[in-house]
Structure 1
């Protein structure tokens, strides 16, 4: 790690604008922040049968998560060991074995190399040394995560401070509602992450959430997770969809009383989030593409529930949050545009902005140059 000269004490300041647009900083944070971070891939139920697989692509890597004949889920680089062809295309499928479409090298569901055409052409070839490259995988409450670089706590350890609040939602029993969607945004990934954990903009920019929660939106920051929440008011909203949701949301008997009208939000450092409602659970992640491009990957899950009012509540939830997403998109675009100005220097973070303080502190710890108000000279990351 390079040492940055003339670092500015920045504990109470937001991150500088240049780290939201600088290509060299982006490359460094991909190595130090994103590669070692857990990325959510799917739920156990999405690959329930042997041979079922799904993929996630980020940082130039493609990772396949596949269910073995023994019932175990494993993760591998989606790369043939012969000539580097991608083994599978698309986001999901099912196969009894993985056969490369280039030269037909074949792998078992456990990653072993089990078939090599013209094997005699490769004297001394050791199949045991040429299995698929494993990627670290973690399972937490039915969800499967991968990370490209090892090290750091498990997902369970990260979520430990709030696990008691998640447990009643029965994550292990969730099933997908629809498919994964990808939403490109012309902003830096940190801009999306900052906005997700920002509490002060709720009463300013989200009138719908304010009608639902009043002034009761709460935020908290633990070592590895931000927590946000709001309890639905008994007072009917003036908005039709919100008022209908308040009225139609049925009692979720599996939840304790305190959680039956609570919307919960958790962001795992640095870029994975869970929106937990009484009626459904959404995950999303903010996948960096370039210094000014991010791909938001998301999908909804729910417990099986055939009640008509539950179906209506889920539809209304979608309508409400579609509007919230539109509002957030406009906000983060405005901020990204402002970050391009050389006139801007880091602004103060209020004492209540605990999540943004926590995020900035962790990033500065990993990349000390983030303390600088202006970028160092070119090549600083190689110093």
Structure 2
């Protein structure tokens, strides 16, 4: 397994050790993560192709907020909190929809698609107020290669494009702008802390131990590396036919992809963007996966596949086989992270040593300790630490 890591200052006194187990179940640490990690981080909502027409909207709910991305009559995409400025009611329900106006179901305050307050029933009964100042609350939005991201707080951190700068040349051939959804967003609850999902995603050491299918497909070609804001994982399909039917048929039926260079025809590529958004990039499709925190010991995985137009029977078969292969991988990963979450509850475990090959996990631990210094403590500090640390 190949491993690489970007240069980074070695300032963490616990460098080479995992985050302490208490940070995977502690309520105060979880609340600090919501404010310091998730509020200023970019979160993926959808693809531009999911909201092609004026009035189309898509929502994302996380850390107690509901965000909606709306395409205006001017075709511009905007992001707002899904909250009426009158009494705080949610305005739209569900994951997606289309509307000519955004109308609050409580008192029918009405907003234009650009967020401006357009109508207030019985407006004469209200004291004079600045109508222009009571539009929907906007939040920052970025469209990167067709994928729509939002963030609740702008802390001056890098854009998605800046985060992905080291890898733009790798992503460019896959025509992200032209992708279209294959199916719908799937929400998969998991009774684990969100970090356990991310730790597992970027962990290359467990592949030959716990994923026999991926090992049959990749052999020793699986590699990992860590950049400042992105982890990369990769593997190349072996020519030797797998004894597993789904894997063998995928190897056999995956057709040539005209827009990809020769070295990408049998290449699987993974990116994890800080802190919790991943792209699984295959010759046949592109998936995004996002693990959202629900509580200190619960998360939900949000995922969907996107594809380019391709009516070839071999391509349709390859996409189905890809799903079969990764369904098994997901089941294996679910069992792994569940075991880890349960083991972390033991009084016998606090921190563990990290291999020099666990470059992504080392980088993640270092960064989280910089953001929340309490994670440098092997055991949980006294309650109230987050008010001063």
TM-score by length of 1: 0.97
- Return the match for 2:176 from 168, 171, 192: 171
8 Å CA contact retained: 2:224, 2:233:
yes
- 1:254 CA displacement: 0.1
- 1:8 CA displacement: 8.4
Residue 118 in structure 1 maps to residue 122 in structure 2: yes
What is the distance in 2 between the residues matched to 1:32 and 1:269?
Answer: 13
What is the SS of the residue equivalent to 1:178? strand
TM-score by length of 2: 0.96
State the partner residue of 2:311: 306
State the partner residue of 1:3: none
What is the distance in 2 between the residues matched to 1:341 and 1:368?
Answer: 23
State the partner residue of 1:134: 138
State the partner residue of 1:352: 357
What is the SS of the residue equivalent to 1:135? strand
Q: CA RMSD in A?
A: 1.0
Residue 31 in structure 1 maps to residue 22 in structure 2: no
Q: 1:69-91 CA deviation, whole Å, 9 max, x = no partner?
A: 11110000100001111100111
What is the distance in 2 between the residues matched to 1:357 and 1:123?
Answer: 57
State the partner residue of 2:13: 9
- 1:125 CA displacement: 2.0
8 Å CA contact retained: 1:8, 1:372:
no
What is the SS of the residue equivalent to 2:154? coil
1:36-55 aligned at under 5 Å gives the runs 36-55=40-59
What is the distance in 2 between the residues matched to 1:46 and 1:359?
Answer: 32
1:1-383 aligned at under 5 Å gives the runs 9-151=13-155, 152-383=157-388
- 1:378 CA displacement: 1.1
Q: CA separation of 1:8/1:282 partners in 2, compared to 1, >3 Å: closer, same or farther?
A: closer
- 1:345 CA displacement: 2.4
What is the distance in 1 between the residues matched to 2:182 and 2:259?
Answer: 19
Number of matched pairs:
377
What is the distance in 2 between the residues matched to 1:100 and 1:26?
Answer: 32
What is the SS of the residue equivalent to 1:228? strand
Q: Structure 2 stretches of 5 or more lacking a match?
A: 1-10
Structure 1 segments, 4+ long, off by >3 Å, are: none
8 Å CA contact retained: 2:12, 2:366:
no
